[in-house]
Structure formats: structure tokens, C-alpha cells
Chain A
Amino acid sequence: MSSDRVLLEVRNLTVDYVGDNSIARAVDGIDFDIREGEAFGLAGESGCGKSTVAFALARLTRLPGLVSGGEVKLDGEDVLKFDKARLKAYRWREVSFVFQSAMNALNPVIPISEQIIDVIETHEPNLGKEGARKRAVELFELIGIPPARLDEYSHQFSGGMRQRICIAIALALKPRLIIMDEPTTALDVVVQRDIIEQIVELKNRLGFSVLFITHDLGLMIEFCDRIGVMYSGELVEVAPSGSILTNPQHPYTKALGNSFPPLTGPRVRLEGISGTPPRLTDLPVGCRFAARCPYAMPVCREQAPALRFHPEHQSEAACHLLN
């Protein structure tokens, strides 16, 4: 499905949260690529910075967040340096966003139709009102909701339908990348499955890339081509999704895999990861996982390991054990 052409190059992306008396580094200089047509997943415990990355890529970092350094390159241009006009064209045409809670992502007092049509009209003014409305009808058909309900308000739809509507809006301009920040977390399991299947089907048909973020590692392995594992604001491993579970390189990835139930096979006792991640305002010098890592060596506490490609495993990992 995915090609080797890189769509979005993320280099040294750094995001800080500016507090009253301190600064927390939520994302600390991470590098990764999203390729055309691929589904790239970001996994990790809550608070590891994966959603922060998603918002930074879309230029949607909210106060008190600040993208303090790095580059996000799209066709050689730095997204972070876009001026107003270029940014407007970037938004939704090239990258669109599906939020965790569709309930909150749709304005409760504006009809759904208007929330679809306004984005089409903004970016494709020559379509006209009629054309935009026609596109909205097509989008509703695409996600399987009767277009007659187009003029209703968000509270009149069920949770699953609302998330579908958000996906439809995300598709309105046929973007190259859709960022999905835990799109199914707020839904029940059955609806979750439906939605994921629908996304897979649409992705195969329309060929967009996806940046997929979820707590659910099983779901992620099933849906994504490659997965990046984040810990405490850093990428510790980037690998094809198949090897995340079967051949994890970084001890944290191993631990994360062990804490999720296998999809098939016998029931095994799950192991949690003891301890908590370091405080972001007060990060250790060496490897951030060292304090919780069963294999930690003296060097781990003194020197931070860099993310390196290990051809024999087809993956990148940041761990002294592998050197």
C-alpha cells in the first residue's frame, strides 16, 4: 500500500509546555518520516507526548504549548515556517485531523452541513454553494449516513455516527495526510471495529497517509504499517508493525508489548511496567527509561542513547544494549 516516497519529514521536533515557574519538555527532538500512503502509528503511555506531536505537525499547538525547535518538511518546505497564506492552504487540503472526541470536535450550535460546507467553500471557492453541498452529500453517502440528516446538529447523532461525520469532514478535501488522535478511544468496542474497518477501506480507496495515535497497541499493530514508540518525549523505537510485537529491540517496547493481551493464542499473565516516567520538568541526563529498565547498565545513567538504524532487525532503536 505505502510507497517509499516520504510525505512528511519530522526532524528534531521539540515541544515545550511553558508553565508559571518551569518549563516541561513534552517532546524532545524526535525524528521520523511519514511516507505516502502509509499508516504510521505513535504508541506510548499517556503523557509520553504522542498527541503533542500530532498537534505540532498540524500547526495546532495550543497554549501553553510551544514548538521550540525542529522542522516538519513537506515537499522540502518547513511547515513550521509557513506564513498565513501558505498555512491556510496547508490546513485541511494537505493535512486534516480527526479528534479523540467527536462530541467535542463538532460545534454543538452549528448544523453539521455548515461545518462540512464551510471548509469546502473556504478552500475551493469556485465550487460554489451548490457544489459544496453536493460534495457534502457525497461524503455522507461515503460514510453511510443518509444525506437527509445533513442539516441536523451534532447532539442528534450517536457517538459512532459523530466520529464517522468527523472522518467525512476530514476527507472533504481529499488531503494527503489524516492525523487521527485516538479516534476510537471514546467509543465502545463494537463501534470501534466498524470505524477502523471503514477507515482501512477508505484509505485503500483514496490512498491518503495516516498518522494514527492510540492506547490500544493491538489495534495499532493491525492497522499501521510502521509504528514509533515514544517514551517520555522521545522516540525509543521505530519499526515495521509486525516486529513491534514479535521482535522488539528496545526494552520499553518489550515491556509495552507484554502489558497488552495477545490477540490470538493462550491467555498469559500480563506484566505491567513498574515505576513511572520521569518528570518532564526535571529529566535525567542518561536514558530516560533507565530507572525502570531491567537491563540498565552504568552507561545508561550517564549517556543518552541515540536513535539508530539496525539493519539486521529492520528497525531503529535508541538503546545502549544494541551497540
Chain B
Amino acid sequence: MSELAHTPAFPLRAESAADLAAAAPSHPELMRELGVRPRPGWTANLPAGLASFLTNGKGMAGVIILLVLVVMSAAAPLLSDYNPNRRAGKPHVMPSYEHVLGTTRLGKDVFTQLVYGGRVSLSVGIGAGAFAALIGLALGISAGYFGGRTDEIISFFVNVVLVLPGLPLIIVIATMVEAASPMVIGLVLALTGWGWAARTIRTQTLSLRTREFVLSAELLGEKKWRIILIEIFPNMLSFFMGGLVLGTIAAILAEAALEFIGLGDPNAVTWGTMLFWAQNNLALQSGAWWEIWPPCIAIMLTGAALVLVNFAVDEITNPQLKASRKIGRIKRFLTRRGRGADVF
């Protein structure tokens, strides 16, 4: 033991500080150098998750694109005087003042079809995505919270839904229903698309189930549905959002694909049926690019916007992903001070 041999490590902090090159910057200096900005005042009263979503550049870009698409579809009658189902001019007219995006081979106005089609495509996509996420939420929480038999049975069905190929199954159902309306397609997509959401939410519930606040609520004799609703559900919101976004992407893409291969109702006006008619009328081969690219771009924009939103949701559910955003500045901070910049 070295009790007696103990001598001070250094005489005084003030003296040794003089020859220290590596003085740490103060907090305000550090925040400036690393580009850390305090939380904007207007988000102060919002829950942390929502605030970090609203201040996420990617997420908000996605939301704005989506909002523009939704508003344009909702305002369709204001944006166009034509009827999307009727002839509006000569067949295959080039984009012009009368027909902003030209006409189809049947002389229908492409822009009108696009905005009216958005109404159906977006509402079917978002509706199916939301329905699928709700099923996933209900089954995921039940399986994770109740455990035992309930969990086994639900997990079996989750695995079956995950393992069965979605599109081929939908094709079988859709063929049997003779020209499936967008509603039917949306319903089938929701009923086959809840697997991922259920699986994630089940895993999350399982890990939440043994946390103190749930256990203490149980010891206090809270009713089960109250625990689920008040203790567990709020923690699942971001995962539910994730499921909703991914479900919507899947539904919009699948709806377009199904209608494109001719399983939809050809008389409905949606982005998918627009593609179907364009392909059937050999729009590409006959040079009528304006008939085929507008619905393509609309679908791609929607998909891209939802992917951006999903990036933001991912960063909320998985803080590890967020930490990597500051990595560049931290590396520069270290390099400037002549220190090894191996940041992990």
C-alpha cells in the first residue's frame, strides 16, 4: 500500500494550466464550432419526438412535397375545367396552352387525369398504409404485451404474412373480383401488408414490457387496456409512423403495379390506370411521351417524399443514426487541433 508514499500529482492546477496547449473551448465556442444550435423557441412546448421531426430537413422536405401533391389533388376541380373521363380534345395533342400536359390517345386531358387520379391513388395508398399500420399496431402490441399463447398464435400469422409473396397473392384475389375497384385493391393491400409493422411493434413492446413504468402500473392494479393505451401506446407512436410510411409506399407502388398489369378497374382514373392505358396504347412507341411520363413522375415524387419522411422517422426511432450527422464537424474539430480523427 502506498499511503505514506502519497505525494501530490501536481502542485496547483493554475500553474500547470499555463503550459497546456489543449485547453478545452467553452460551451458557446464549442457549439459554434460544431454547428450545434439550440432548439428553436417555437418547438419548446412540443414533445421531443415531434420537435425533432419538425426540425429535420429531410423529413420536412418530404412532408412539403406530399402536401403539394395532396393539395393539388384535392383542388383538382379548381385546377382544371375538363372532365377526366371525357374526351377533351383531339387524340395525342402535344402539351400546349389548352392542354398543359397534352391529351391521351383517346383525347382525354392528361393534366386533368393526373390531378383527379392523385385523389384516388393518394387516398388508396395512404388509407391502405394507415389500415395496415393499425392492424400491425394492434397485433404487435397484443402479441408483445400478453405474451404466451396469444403471442405464439399472432406470431405465426405474422410470419405467414411475411413469408407469403404479396403481389402474386393479391393477383389471385384481384382476378377473382373481376376488375377490382381502387377500394378493393386498397383493402387487399392493407390485409396483406401489415407483417413488418406487427413484427417491429411486437419487438418494441416486448422490450417495453419489463420496464419500470409498466411494471409499476401493473403492481398498482391498472387495467390492462389502460396500461396498453397510456403506458405503451405513446412509446409506439414513432414505430407506428414508420409502419404507416413504409406501408403507404408499398401500397402506392403495389396499386400502381396492379393497375399497370391490368388488374384494376380500367374505367377508374388513377395514376396506375393512366400508366396502363399509356402502355396499352403504345404511347412510348408512338412518341406520345406526355401520356406516360406525368403519372410516372407523380408516383416517383410520392415515393421519394415518403422515403424522405421515413429517413426522419428512422432517426427518431434509432438515435444511433442521428449521432452520425455531426461526425464531419467532430472530425474537423480534432484535425484542427492536431489530434487523431478516428471517430466512431
Contacts and interface: CB of A to CB of B under 8 A. Distances in A.
B326 interface: yes
Interface of A: 1-2, 4, 6, 9, 11-12, 14, 16, 18-23, 25, 29, 31-33, 35, 38, 59-60, 62-64, 66-71, 78, 80-84, 87, 225-226, 238-243, 306-309, 314-316
A9 B334 CA distance: 21
B223 interface: no
Contacts of B322: 20
* Residue among A1, A64, A82 with max Cβ neighbours from chain B (10 Å): A64
Nearest to A225: B2
Nearest to B52: A20
Contacts of B11: 309
Contacts of B339: 67, 80-81
A243 B343 CA distance: 39
Nearest to B324: A63
Contacts of B212: none
Interface in B303-340: 322-324, 326-327, 330, 333-334, 338-340
Given A4-B7, A64-B323, 6 more contacts: A11-B20, A63-B344, A66-B334, A71-B21, A225-B1, A238-B9
Contacts of B4: 314
B36 A18 contact: yes
A64 B322 CA distance: 9
Contact of B13 (A1, A307, A315): A307
B46 interface: no
18 contacts: A6-B9, A18-B34, A18-B36, A20-B39, A31-B13, A38-B2, A59-B342, A67-B339, A68-B24, A70-B22, A71-B20, A80-B339, A80-B340, A83-B340, A306-B13, A308-B12, A309-B11, A316-B8
Nearest to A71: B22
Given A68-B25, A84-B342, A240 B326 contact: no
B23 to A, nearest CB: 6
B36 A22 contact: yes
A294 B11 CA distance: 29
B45 interface: no
A9 B20 CA distance: 13
A84 B334 CA distance: 14
Interface of B: 1-14, 16-17, 20-25, 27, 30-31, 34, 36-39, 52, 322-324, 326-327, 330, 333-334, 338-340, 342-344
A226 B6 contact: yes
Contacts of A70: 20, 22, 24
Contacts of B324: 63
Nearest to A15: B24
Contacts of B334: 66
A1 B2 contact: yes
Contacts of B12: 306, 308
Nearest to B25: A68
Which 7 A-B residue pairings sit nearest by Cβ, starting from the closest?
Answer: A69-B24, A14-B24, A309-B8, A21-B39, A33-B9, A240-B3, A63-B323
Nearest to B333: A66
A5 to B, nearest CB: 11
B53 to A, nearest CB: 12
Contacts of A243: 3
Given A81-B339, A309-B8, A23 B2 contact: no
Nearest to A27: B24
Contacts of A82: 340
B5 to A, nearest CB: 6
B22 A64 contact: no
A111 B259 CA distance: 52
Nearest to A309: B8
Contact of A18 (B22, B38, B330, B338): B330
A6 B9 CA distance: 9
A226 to B, nearest CB: 7
Contacts of A242: 1, 3
B3 A63 contact: no
B3 A20 contact: no
A31 B30 contact: no
Contacts of B8: 309, 316
Contacts of B24: 12, 14, 16, 29, 68-70
Nearest to A240: B3
B326 A226 contact: no
* Residue among B3, B5, B6, B334 with max Cβ neighbours from chain A (10 Å): B6
